[in-house]
Structure 1
Amino acid sequence: MSTPSGPQPNAAPAAVDGPAEAGPGAEATVRAGAVMAAGTVASRILGLIRTALLAAAIGTAGGVSDPFNSANSLPNFIYLMVAGGVFNAVLVPQIIRASRQPDRGADYVSRLLTLAAAVLLVLTVLATLAAPLIVDLTTGFTDERLQLATLFAYWCLPQIFFYGMYAVVGQILNANGSFGPYMWAPVVNNVVSIAFLTVFLVVMGSEGTQEHTPETWTSAQTLLVAGGMTLGVAVQALVLLIPLQRLKLGLKPRFGLRGTGLGRTGRLASVTIITMLVGNGLYFVNLRIATIASDARKGLLAQDPPVQIAGSSNLDTGVLMYQLPHAVIALSLATIMFNQLSAASANGDLAAVRAVLSRGLRFTGVATVFGAAALLALAGPLGMLFSESPEVATLNGTIIAILAVGTPFLSINFFLTRVFYAAEDVRTPLKIQLILSAVGVALALTAGMLDPRFIVPTLAAAYSLGNVIAVVVSHLFLTRAIGPYGAGHVFDVYVRLALAGLAAAASGAALCGVFGANEVGGYFWQSRLNSVVVLAVGGVLMLAVYLGMLRLLRVSELKQLIGLVRERFGR
C-alpha cells in the first residue's frame, strides 16, 4: 500500500494515546465550526420543512413521489460520480498550495474556475439530453411513471452545473478561511423551494385532498415542484459569488493549463473520479434495487385490503434523517480540520495530523452518538413528519431506526478518508472504495432477491453495515500510512458515548410509549403537530439524560467543548 505523498510514516514520533489538549487549534476549530454548524442547522431545519411540504404536496408512497424523488436525486448522483470527489477532496490542498504564491493563487483560481465552468456546462448539457436513457438505466419504472420520471429529469438535471459551481466556489472560500458562506448558502436554496411548494399546495392542493397521479399531472405542477427545486440550487450557487468577490483576488476568465499546477490537480482528479465512479456505482445499484419495491407497491396497494411497503421515497426520507448528525456537526468540523490536515501534511508534521484526527473523531462523536440515539428512539414521530398516514409513518420510522445504527460510523469514516486526501494520496481511497463497493453490491443484490416488502429495509441495513465495515477497512489502511493515531483512546471515548446514548435512547423510547407509540391511534400518530410535540419533549429529555450520563462517565470531551463555547461567548 502507498503512503501519503506528503509526510512519511517515520517523519514524526507516534501520537500519544492520551487525550489531546484543547489548545488554540481546538478553540479555532470549535469557533469556526459553530458558525458552520449554525448555518447547517438553519439549512437542515428548513430542509425538513421543505421535505414535509413536499410530502404533503405529492405524498411519500404515491405514483408521483417515487418518480420525482428518483429524478431529483440524479443531478447530485451524476455530479458526485463525475466531479464531486475532485471538488470536495482534491481542490483544497491544491488551493492552499497555490495561495502561497505572490499573487495569492489568483491565476490558479481563475483558471480553475474557468475550466470547472466549461466542464460542468458540457456535462450538464450531455446529461440533460440523455435524460430518457439515464432514467431508464437508474429506475425500474414503466409506463406513465417512467414518462413522468423522465419529464422530472429534464427539469432537474440542469442542477448538475450549479451543484458543481457551488462546490468549487465553496472550496475556494474554505481554503481562504471563509467557512460560513458555504454552509449558509443552502438556506437560500430551501427558502426558494419552500416558496414554490407553498404555492403548489395553495393552487394545486395536497396529495391527501387531490390524490395526484401520473395520469393527471400537469406542466404547471412540474414547474412548481421540479422547477422550484432547480431554481433553489441555482440561487444557492450564485449567492457564493458575493463572498468570493470579497476575497479581492482579481479573478477573471482565463484559459490554459501550462505552468499553472492544474496538471497535477488533473492527475489527482483522474484517480478521484474513478473512486467516485466506483462509489456511486454502488448508489446506482441501490437506487435500481429500491425501485423494484417502488414498482411492486403499485400492485400491492391495489389489493383488497391494500398492502403498504417501503419504496425508494421512504429510503430517501430515512437517508435524509440519518445524515443529519453528520451534516450538522461532522461535516462542519471536518471541513475546517481538512485545512489543518492539509497544512500539517504539506509541512510533513505527522504528529499534528494525528492530533487533529484524534480530536476531530472524539469531538464529533459527542454529537453523532447522541444523534443516533435520538433517531433510534424517536423514529416514529420523525417518520410521521413526512407522512400522510400512520401506515406510511411506520414505514419511514422503520427505515430511520435501521439507518440510525450506522450514523456515527458514517462520520468516523469520513474523517479517516480526509487524512488521505489532505496528504494528496488519492490511490488509497480508491483501494478502500473498491473493497466497500464489492461488499455493498453483494448486499444490494441480496436485497433485490427478497420479497418486495423486505427490499428497502434490507438496503437500509446494508447502509448501516457498510458504514461499520468502512471504518474497519479505513482504519487498517490509515494505521499503515501514518502509524498509531490514538485509536485506543478514541475507542474508549466512543464506548462511554455509546453507554450514554443507550440510556438516552431508553428514556426517549419510554416517553414515546407514554404518548401512545404502541397503540393504534396513539397521540403522535394522529397528526404532524402531535409528532412535533413528542419530538420537542423527547429531545429535551434525551439531551438531559445524555449530558448527565456523559458527566457521570467522565467524558472529558464534553467539558472541553463546553469550556471553549463558554469562553467564546464570554468574549
Structure 2
Amino acid sequence: MSHAKKADAALNSPTSAASRASDSRASALMAAGTLISRILGFVKSWLLIVALGLGSSVTDTFINANNLPNMVFVLVAGGVFNAVLVPQILKASRAPDSGADYISRLMTLAVIVMFTLTALVTLCAPLLIQVTTSGYGPPQMSLAVTFAVYCLPQIFFYGLYAMLTQVLNAHGSFAPAMWAPIVNNLVAIAGLGLFVAIFGASAANPHTLDNWGTGQTILVAGFSTLGVLVQTALLFIPLRRLNLGLRPRFGWRGVGLGAAAKVGSWALLTTVVSQLAFLYVMKIATIPGAVRADAPAGSPPIAGNAVLEIASQLYFLPHSIISVSLATVLFNRMAKASLDNDVRGLRAALSNGLRTSAVAIVFSAIALLVLAAPIGMFFSAGKPQDGALLAITLSILALTSPCLSINFMMTRVFYSREDARTPFYVQLALAVLNLAGAFAIQFLPAGMIIYAIAGLYSVGNILSVVISAFFLRRVLGHLDGPRIINSYIRMGYAGIGSAIAGGVVLWLFGAYRADGFLWHNQAAALLSICVAAPVMLGVYVVLLRVFHVEELRDLLRPLLARFIRPAGAEGTTTPAAAPSSAPSARAEQAHRESREEPATGALPAVSMDTGLLPRISGGFDSEGFRAAPSAEDVGEGLSQPARGAHPSTPHYGEEEPAVRAEGRRSLLAVFRDWLWAPPAQQAQLGRHTYQGRSGENPHFPSDLR
C-alpha cells in the first residue's frame, strides 16, 4: 500500500478518533466530579467558619485532629496502596474469574490490617495529639483528644475506600469513586447546618473551649467521620454489580505481594519521608492556636491552622481539577512511550501537559492573588481582620501555585518509566528543606508563623521543579524548553492584563480602603468576586487570543465540543471524512493519528500520587487513589503494532477543526470558531512558536537530539 493510501486509512480510522473522544470524556468527567466535590468542600469549610469562627481555638483544634486520619493513613498505608496493590489488582483483573479469588484474599487482608491499625491508633490518640501539637494547655489538649477519638476511625474507611476504588477502576468503573466524595461533603455540611441551627453561629454565640460540649462534638467531628463512612459504603453498590462474588478469603501465601512490595519500596519511602516532614510542619503550625488560646481578651487576631487550611484548599483547587485530570489522561501516553523507549513521544506528552494545563493554572494563580482580599473576607464570616489574615496567606501560596502543577506533571514521567527512586530523591530534598525551615520558623513571633509556613511551601514548590527538571534532562535530553517558556511568557502577559482589569474592578468596590464597600460584609465580598472574576477571565481569554496562545484551543476543545454544536451539524463532516485538497497536510494529519494509541475500552484514569508534593490541606486526597491503568497500559496487553508505534503527537487535541456547514450559527458557536482559527487564518495571523514535532525545531539547533 502506498504512503498516501496508508495516510488515508489512518486518517479515516475510527479507532484514533474514539481514543481521542474517550480521552476528552474521561478528563471532563473527572474534572466535573472533582469540581463539584471541591465546591461542596468549600461550602463545608465556609460553614465551619460560620459555625466556629476563623480565629477560634476550637476551629484550629478540630482541624488539627481531623487532619490526623489522612496523615496516618498516607504515612502507613498510602504508598502501599498505590505502589503495591494497584499492579496486583490489575493483573488479577485479567484472570478468567476477573480476579475474584485474588481480590477476595487481598480485601480480606486489607480489612484486617486497616482495622487493626485504626484500633491501635485510636487507643493511642492522647499520645498522637501530644506528638503533633505544641503548646496546648489542658483544656485544649482534652478537646483535641476528644476530637481525635471521633475522627481517627476514618483511617479504616480511607483504606477500604482506596481498595474498592482500585477494584472498580480495574474493571472499568470510574464514576463511582469520582462522585462518592460529594456525598461525604453533603453529610458533613448537614452536620454543620444542624450545629448552626441548634447552637448558633459563632458571630452571635461564640464557641470557646469553656462552653464546648458533647453534642457539639458529635455534630462537627462525628458527622465528619460519618461522611467518610457513607462515601465508602456507596462503593459497594457498583462493586456488587460487577458480580465478582467477593467473600472473605484467608491464606495469602504465594499471592505475589512480596515481589510487589519490593517494587513499591521506593514509592513507600517517598510517602514516609513526605508525611514525616509534613507532620513536623503541622506541629509547628499549632503554635499560634495555642498562643491565641492563652492570650487575654481583645488581643490582635493571629493566623492559625484554620487560616492555613482554607488557604491551602483554595490554592490546591486549580491543580486538582485541571492538572490532575490532564496528567491522568496523559499518563497512559507517557507509559506507552516509555514502554517503546520513545523519548520524543515522552517529551511531547510532558510538553503538551505543561503548556495546556498552564493556560488554566496561570490564570488561577493571578486570580487568587488579585482576589485574595474579597476571598478572605468571604471565608472569614464577615470579620475584616480575620479576612486579612487569610488574604495574606493565600497570596503567599498563590505566587508559586503553577510550580505545584509543573512538578506534578514532571513526576508522572518518572512513574511512567517505573522509576520511583528519583521522586524519592526529590522528596528527600524537600523534606530537608521543610524540616530545617519549620525548625527555624518556630522561633518567630506567633503572628508570623503561618505566613512563614506558606512561604516555606512556596519555596519548596520552586525547588521541586528545579530538581525534577535536572533529573528529567538526563532522561529526555531536553525538555522542549524554548517552546514551553515562550508559551508561559505569553500567558504571563495575558495574566498581567487580567490582573490589571481585576484590580480596577476591586478598586471600584473599595478593596484598597479600610472603609470600602468590599469590607462591609460577606455579601459585598461575594458580589465583588462575582463581578471581578468574569471580567478577569474575559480579559485573559481575549489576550490569550491576541498573543496567539494555541494551548487555549487544546484546553477548551473537549469542553466546547461537548456543549456547543454548530447549526447544521447534521451536514458537518469531520476531518476524518472530509476530502482534502492538500495531500501533504492530510499525510501529516495521518502521521499524527497513526501514532495515537488503540482504543482499549474505558479509558483508565491514572494518578500515582504518593505524597510527592507537600500537602497542606488535611482532607483526604482521593485523586491519589482514584484510578489505575488498565492491563493494556502496563504493557503486557499491548499489541505488537502499539509497541512499535511512532512517537506520540505533541498536541493533545486534534489539530484541525471540523469543516462546518454553511448556515446560521449560535453566538456560542461563533465564539468557538473564534477561539481557534482555521489553518489558513492561522497562517495569516502567524505563529510565534514552532508547532512541529518536539525535538525537530530548526530554529534551535542545540535542542536537536
Q: TM-score, normalised by structure 1?
A: 0.90
1:377-405 deviations in whole A, cap 9, x for unaligned?
A: 11111112221311001001110111011
Alignment correspondent of 1:361: 354
Alignment correspondent of 1:186: 181
Alignment correspondent of 2:444: 450
Residues 1:469 and 2:463 are matched in the alignment = yes
Report the alpha carbon displacement of residue 35 of structure 1 after superposing the two structures with TM: 0.8
Q: Distance in 2 between matches of 1:249 and 1:428?
A: 38
Report the alpha carbon displacement of residue 323 of structure 1 after superposing the two structures with TM: 0.5
Alignment correspondent of 1:308: 301
Alignment correspondent of 1:271: 266
Q: Distance in 2 between matches of 1:308 and 1:489?
A: 46
- Letter paired with 1:472: V
Counterpart pick for 2:26 among 17, 21, 32: 32
Report the alpha carbon displacement of residue 329 of structure 1 after superposing the two structures with TM: 1.5
Q: Which moved more, 1:432-441 or 1:251-260?
A: 251-260
Aligned sequence identity (%): 45
Q: Which moved more, 1:108-117 or 1:551-560?
A: 108-117
Contact 1:358 1:490 in 2 (8 A): yes
Alignment correspondent of 1:50: 44
Report the alpha carbon displacement of residue 350 of structure 1 after superposing the two structures with TM: 4.7
1:5-63 deviations in whole A, cap 9, x for unaligned?
A: xxxxxxxxxxxxxxxxx976554333211111111111111111111110011111112
Alignment correspondent of 2:371: 378
1:98-139 deviations in whole A, cap 9, x for unaligned?
A: 444444444443333232222211211111111101111101
Alignment correspondent of 1:63: 57
Q: How does 1:124-139 map to 2 (within 5 A)?
A: 124-139=118-133
Counterpart pick for 2:318 among 325, 342, 355: 325
Q: Distance in 2 between matches of 1:23 and 1:472?
A: 37
- SS of 2:264's equivalent in the other structure is helix
CA change 1:105–1:339 in 2 (3 A) is farther
Q: Distance in 2 between matches of 1:254 and 1:406?
A: 48
Report the alpha carbon displacement of residue 444 of structure 1 after superposing the two structures with TM: 1.7
Report the alpha carbon displacement of residue 485 of structure 1 after superposing the two structures with TM: 4.4
Alignment correspondent of 1:523: 517
- Letter paired with 2:202: E
Q: Distance in 1 between matches of 2:491 and 2:406?
A: 14
Q: How does 1:162-311 map to 2 (within 5 A)?
A: 162-300=157-295, 302=296, 306-311=299-304
CA change 1:29–1:485 in 2 (3 A) is farther
Q: Distance in 1 between matches of 2:168 and 2:414?
A: 21
1:249-284 deviations in whole A, cap 9, x for unaligned?
A: 443333344443322322233332221111011211
1:285-319 deviations in whole A, cap 9, x for unaligned?
A: 2111111122222344x26x521121121111111
Contact 2:84 2:261 in 1 (8 A): no
Counterpart pick for 2:494 among 495, 500, 504: 500
- Letter paired with 1:272: A
Counterpart pick for 1:405 among 399, 408, 417: 399
- Letter paired with 1:452: A
Unmatched segments (≥5 aa) in structure 1: 1-21
Alignment correspondent of 1:160: 155
Alignment correspondent of 1:15: none
Counterpart pick for 2:141 among 143, 146, 151: 146
Larger Rg belongs to: 2
Q: Distance in 1 between matches of 2:480 and 2:97?
A: 39
Q: Distance in 2 between matches of 1:35 and 1:528?
A: 32
- Letter paired with 1:469: L
Q: Distance in 2 between matches of 1:257 and 1:84?
A: 20
1:55-82 deviations in whole A, cap 9, x for unaligned?
A: 0111111121111011011111111112
Contact 1:89 1:418 in 2 (8 A): no
Contact 2:118 2:152 in 1 (8 A): yes
Contact 1:36 1:332 in 2 (8 A): yes
CA change 1:412–1:564 in 2 (3 A) is same
CA change 1:553–1:259 in 2 (3 A) is farther
- Letter paired with 1:180: A
Q: Which moved more, 1:186-195 or 1:516-525?
A: 516-525
Q: Which moved more, 1:272-281 or 1:258-267?
A: 258-267
Counterpart pick for 1:424 among 418, 422, 431: 418
CA change 1:247–1:409 in 2 (3 A) is farther
Q: How does 1:389-404 map to 2 (within 5 A)?
A: 389-404=383-398
- Letter paired with 2:323: A
Q: Distance in 1 between matches of 2:355 and 2:83?
A: 22
Q: Distance in 1 between matches of 2:476 and 2:85?
A: 22
Alignment correspondent of 1:561: 555
Contact 1:29 1:333 in 2 (8 A): no
Q: TM-score, normalised by structure 2?
A: 0.74
CA change 1:160–1:482 in 2 (3 A) is farther
Report the alpha carbon displacement of residue 149 of structure 1 after superposing the two structures with TM: 0.7
- Letter paired with 2:347: R
CA change 1:110–1:500 in 2 (3 A) is farther
Q: Distance in 2 between matches of 1:188 and 1:427?
A: 37
- What's the C-alpha RMSD, in Å, of the aligned pairs? 2.2
- SS of 2:380's equivalent in the other structure is coil
Q: Distance in 2 between matches of 1:349 and 1:254?
A: 42
Contact 2:191 2:220 in 1 (8 A): yes
Q: Distance in 1 between matches of 2:236 and 2:332?
A: 21
Contact 1:504 1:545 in 2 (8 A): yes
Q: Distance in 2 between matches of 1:478 and 1:488?
A: 16
Q: Distance in 2 between matches of 1:243 and 1:83?
A: 24
Contact 1:29 1:336 in 2 (8 A): yes
Q: Distance in 1 between matches of 2:357 and 2:370?
A: 20
Unmatched segments (≥5 aa) in structure 2: 1-15, 570-705
Report the alpha carbon displacement of residue 94 of structure 1 after superposing the two structures with TM: 4.5
Contact 2:378 2:526 in 1 (8 A): yes
The count of aligned residue pairs is 548
Is the helix fraction higher in 1 or 2? 1
- SS of 2:468's equivalent in the other structure is helix
CA change 1:563–1:314 in 2 (3 A) is closer
Contact 2:184 2:230 in 1 (8 A): yes
List, as ranges, runs of 4+ consecutive aligned residues in structure 1 with deviation greater than 6 Å.
none
Alignment correspondent of 2:660: none
Residues 1:478 and 2:472 are matched in the alignment = yes
Counterpart pick for 1:41 among 31, 35, 41: 35
Report the alpha carbon displacement of residue 448 of structure 1 after superposing the two structures with TM: 1.6
